[in-house]
Structure 1
Amino acid sequence: MNRINICVADDSEIQKILVQITRGKQVRNKPLNITNADCDVLYISERSNFNLLEGVPKGTVTIGGMKQFTRDGGAIELVEKQGKIKPKVNLNNISGYRLSSNFLRVAEIEGGKQ
């Protein structure tokens, strides 16, 4: 992987914002690229587009803001708590990616070995 492709399937406004805030940014020396193809990260904003999870290749991290996104197959759900956005991650849906300990400290955790 020489770059990280982030796709926003169903919200052109969020896509425009991501283009602006990721310009020139890197994660682990890999540039962030907002695109509609070859997704490493896929953001889904509408429950009506939840069917997009069915065709996602293994290894794609899925992120959504709707309730029960992680329970229904998504990897990371963005949850609002006390006016702040907090990630909830389902370890069963991460597709082999490693998550940093810093991320895990702030996230709610579901799944994984119980």
Structure 2
Amino acid sequence: MKNGPIIVSPESNVQRLQRVELQATGIYDEKWLQQLVFANADLLPFYEIDADYAGAVPVCMELVTKSGRVDCIYVTPTGRLVITETKLYRNPQSRREVIGRYSITLKT
């Protein structure tokens, strides 16, 4: 018997998830991940970070700033901005420069 993640539907149908080799297909790159996260904001654990982030909706992708492009921007129901930088785990930038890349000042 093969172990691994499964999806169980409300009707109790079971579907076993299959591993996809990201490098082999050439389809799954950072642009694909960015579009996936932007179109499906519920994939991000906003509520676990801060309850005020729950319900964030996508606003734009690839916003040009002085520091570079912002991958995804969301806004919460209370008007807070959420900036998301998407990096595949195999990208060496994911450990180096992404964390300190953005410094945004909002004036009210």
**Structure 1 and Structure 2 fold alike (TM over 0.5):** no
Higher strand share: 1
Q: Which has the higher contact order (CA 8 A, sep 6+)?
A: 1
- TM-score, scaled relative to structure 2: 0.28
Rg (Cα) greater in structure: 2
- TM-score, scaled relative to structure 1: 0.27
